[in-house]
Structure 1
Amino acid sequence: MMRLARPSGFMRQAASRTLAAHPISTYVPILAILIIVLLMGVFAWAVSKERHEEQSNELIRNALWVEQSLSFQLRSHENNLSRIASEIEVHSQPATTQTALTQLQHFKTIHPDLLKVAVQDRFGTTLLVRPPGADTRIAAHVSTPRTSTWLPAYYSNEHQESVLDLVVPIYEDNDIVGTLRATFSLATILMENVPWWIAEQYHVSLIDQGDQTLATRSKGEPGQSELRYAMSVDPPLHGVRLLMTPYPQKNIPTFTLLLTVIAGLALLAVVNLAMQHHYARKRRDAELALMQEQAFRSAIENSMVTGMRARDLDGKVLYVNPAFCELVGRSSEEIIGLAPPMPWWVPEMMDETLERRDRLKSSRSVQVFDTLFQRPDGSRVDVQVFESPLIDAQKQHVGWISSIIDISSRKQAEALASSQSEQLHHTAKLITMGEMASTLAHELNQPLSAIASYAAGSLNLLGNEPLDPKLLRRGLESLAEQTRRAGQIIHRIHDFVRKRDPQLSPLNLPDALQGALAMAKAGLRHHQIQLIVPSHPENLPVMGDKVLLEQLIFNLLRNAAEAMSGLEPERRVLEVTMQASNGVVLVMVADQGPGVAATIMAEVFQAFTTTKAQGLGIGLNICRSIVELHHGKLWFENGVPHGATFLFSLPLIEHD
């Protein structure tokens, strides 16, 4: 069940102060998340720095391991070749012993990094070269060293790569008689001495003093990495450095992934809190706006003189404003929660009220009705009620909202206006009778004169001898006829003038037209009006008051006659037409006068509107009241170039 309520002033002020405040507790969760994110960032930076140091240390260890491996391999080559050189006899026939030759061939086989071996005498003449067919030219002749010596690396055009030469002296009887010169491939040395697990992690290369690459062991370009390590391999490699650069990590370490997830969750939490704060602020603003609107609406409702009431579908009162409380003479605490029957219902109107309530339940349309409310002191007030459906936010019909207006003053004003209208109506009749006095005297003079003549003749007949009864009867019958005629004239005038309530009953409208023409005939003759009444249906039944309809037609005939009083007699033509169509009868009174002035067209049917110097201006107003009483319509149309036609329509009675 819905309950309408208004917050008190204190509650609204308290709510406003609460909503207007911005407590720091609102920002505490955001600050906590930001601190966590900051700490996680610091932690991630420290871990990253530590990891960088670990990678740097691991790089140095691996570089030292590679450098030692290279040095060991080269020293091993140096020792093996020195041993073989000690067995070579330069001056013997053949130049070397078969054993030394076999050892060289075997050395070449097991060490693919050895590209070429040459034996020279002390003058630099090449005596032997292996493999067979290799170029016997030596890249550069150096003086014969006393001990095994590694020469600087250089680029070999013969082998199309960077190579390294080892020169080993050959002794005979403690004298140097020649040299053994071995050429090694730097690229193959790296390939043979750098294990795969290091090659997978690092780009390994040998560079000279000018940072030119001599040989490389890699699986691709290392990229732009800040982490790299270079160290000298001298000795045995003079002027050569070992450079190792780690490849970029393709996989994200678990810890980094964990940090990323935590940071992402923290970011989501911050965003969520920010959104919650945004929506909370919007909700706070909306609630404050709603409070202000409710206060504003309450101020309007409390200042209204129209009573407001809300009820649910069962009729239980949910809300009332002060104006309604004043109407029924009870406080809102007494009213809210009440269910039918209500204490302000008038006892004698209980059945009507319950019937209207049942009708309201079955309809969702707006209803307007007048009723009475009874206050606790027994006084009653006339009210007008506007009932409208009460629709909630889900578009559901949940009750009724009523606007109640106190119409007691209006009822009193209407009663006073009705009384004044009746007085004016009666006064207009009397004025009309005053205007008709001379014509009525003429109308009555004729039957009265005839009565006097027939009475005198009858008396004379009574004095004659013998008495003629037939002649006397004829005279007395004529006298009685003239008496009835005079009585009808007086009776018609009496009905027209006397004050009485309207009495609607079935009648034939042409009879009312004939009655009005009979009353107006003398006046029309007085104004020298030529009356034209075209033929019309003889039976046009309407529901009406004959006297009022005769007065209506008489007023229109009199106004038309007065409108043409200033014209030449031959132009004074008045036409009265009556016709039926579409369930209504239409009566038209057309004159040839100047027509309705443009200045009074809009007010012509209002009271006290007239262009006559001696007129009251209530004739057409009375005509309109009579037509509206008969549920008809009255209007006028100006003719071209002159004249006016006043028309009124009345509904015909439906009959078989």
Structure 2
Amino acid sequence: MKSTALYNLIFRPLQWIRKIRGFNLVYTPLLAIVLFTSVMGIILGTLHLQEKNQQEAALFRELSFAKQRIQMRFANNLESLTAINREIAASADDAKLKQLVQDQADDLAINNHEVVKVIWLSEKNQRIWTIPPNNKTDWFSKTQNDQAANEGLISAIELSRVTSRAAFSPFITLNLPSEEPLAKERRTVFWQVVPNIAGGEVIGFLAVLYTAQGVLDVIPGELKAHYRFTLLTDKDRVLGISSDRDVPKRAFSNQTSLDIGVLSPNMTLRIDTYPPPTNLTFRMLIGVVLGLSAFVIWSLWSVLKQMQVRQEAEANLRTETNFRNAMEDSTPVGIRAHDMDKRITYVNRAFCEMSGWSAQELIGLKPPFPFWPDGRRDELLEKMNRALQLSVSANANKGIEGAILRRDGSLIQTRTFIAPLIDEKGKQTGWVTSLIDISEPKKIREELAAAQERFTTVLEGLDAAVSVVSLETDELLFANRFYRENFGNDSKGHFQLAHQENNIKTLHNIAEDLQDSPPGIPASFLYQESESEEVQLSDGSNKWYEVRRRFIPWVDGHLAQLLIATDITIRKEADDIARQQEERMQFTSRLTTMGEMASSLAHELNQPLSAISNYCMGVAKRLEGNIDPALTKDILPALEKASAQAHRAGTIIQRIRGFVKRSEPQRKLTAISDIINDAVGLVEIEAHRHRLTIASELAENLPEVDIDPVLILQVLVNLLKNGLDSTREAYPLSSRWSAPPVKISADLDTSIFPAMLRIQVSDGGAGIAESVSQRMFEPFFSTKSDGMGMGLNICRSIIESHHGRLWATNTMDAEHTKLAGCTFTIQIPLESPETTGNV
């Protein structure tokens, strides 16, 4: 493939340039050298640019991940502080609870490296307790740190008091002695104050002291091993750095703003790359490409030196060839050359006109040849073998009689003379034959009669009904065996297949008008062939036929209608079965995508699906010109269906992707019975595999509902599968013959106003435990070892997007002593609120 692309890129333009008058072929290799050098430079530049783009994309992805980790850590800390505030508000008179609160604060400081101090202050800014105690944080009071820290704390408290929200203080630079063990990590700190509000009033504040260097410790170590992270202020002041290791001058760098809270200080996270390892493979590839380029340029330069010698030889050969072609084309005798294997190596124009075949179609053929009559191929092959073994004088004096069947069906009687072909070394390399036409009128008429008989034989052997009916008398003029066996010996079946049982009078009028017109039937009328029609007989046989018809002049000069009908009943049945299977399998994909993961997956799947559709359509286009009817009948429909299914799969993915992005469902009026039948058909195969059954109970005359059929089908398939899993776990394989079927029903719930569509899925499993029922609709909660915990959550989201409800209830046995299954109930409005509002 690469060689073909390179040839099309370099040498195709050269072939076009050679056709320009006056272009000197000597400069062709020079132009090829320039083009090749340019192309290789573009390729190498593209590879370098692609590698750079990949590195920048990877850098942005890692920066986004680090930012997400930091934001998540601050969000978790805020949740923990809020929980501690609630415990403080509840522990006003309970000493044990107060101790528990301090233990929680201590755990927060121990488990989070960025947190160095937690303080609980009263509503009047009085410190109640400190974690860890002041004796463990004496470094904080050294030099003038206490004053700066208190000023930052007071500013954060006042901001939190005014806004009643968590607030951050400005960054505080501490002056710590160099002998302090953690002086570098605690150089820059800042406060976060969370107000404790009870009954609408602030009862105190919970303050946390963060270190800027500790914020960088939230980033995973494997990232910091490959990149250097720097924490900056909005004025580019360095707050913390993950490593003192220098980065190269041409290193890739990117930065993003950290939004860790509503009233947080402006912080920027920057990422820099370290020097990458030497890419030996890429350099070796460049070396190989450069070496091959030099070899190609040298080869083209050698070709340039040989062009002048070749031009002179080609000019002499062209002159001799033109002379020989002119001489051969001027004679009416057909000339044909064979090699020692009797393969045709050359034919002149007279022989092509004589046989009706082009030179490209004939060269390379071996006997028996397609221009030989079918019934005489063995005879002509024996004559040819015997003639090739005879002497040259015998062939020249006598010749052999033969025949050529033209491509249009006519037969030519010929006499053939054969001579050996000797090369310059005196060695025979083949034979040369010359043919002359010796046909006579009598032989032509006899051969035409034989051709007519063969044609009739072919029609009799067809597995299709062929009939000809006179438009004047409605008489059946011709019918082949297939027609007679299936429709009898009259013209009734002809008009039934043509759907013209009620239009016979109109056909008679057409025939009368043509008789009153000038002699002869207009050619434009005769060649108006109808398109292929698929007709189903109404005689109770339920047979299907593909029908083609046209008007023809009969042998007596009167107008007739030709009809060809092919039995396609088996194909239609196969198409119906395939369509049913396709409808059952359309919506079997499981809705497990979520958030950004769903969008990324849909984007990645669209590309191979588009490639599959394009490849299928490309193959179909290549096969359209194939004359083999089997390919046209079997392979082309399969390719078109494959392309349509690839396009449909892309549509379903885009639909689910739109739902995950919180877009409105694509509603349309749909019969809920069709969706339930499709869902049962999709899940029934899995049920039979586990020896279980599914029963559906649908109320009559259910109205159509304005819903998204794709999403509702996903919900029903998921609920049916859950019911099968529950029943399969409750009944072992040996006793599943007694297991109750999984039931799905649909009716109208008239107990509420307005009435709603109710769908229920019931199983005979062990029911749902109370602990599970409270969390079963939560995301990421699952009782299955291989489950993702998103199925029921997505189902409820889909139903709620249709303004409906989804819940589950346990079913008790007859004695009301134990659980005997579970029932999921869906309620969907008969009309969407948007439609009701418009009315």
Higher RCO structure (Cα 8 Å, ≥6 apart): 1
Same fold (TM over 0.5): no
TM-score by length of 1: 0.34
> Considering only CA atoms, is the larger Rg found in Structure 1 or Structure 2?
1
- TM-score normalised to structure 2 length: 0.27
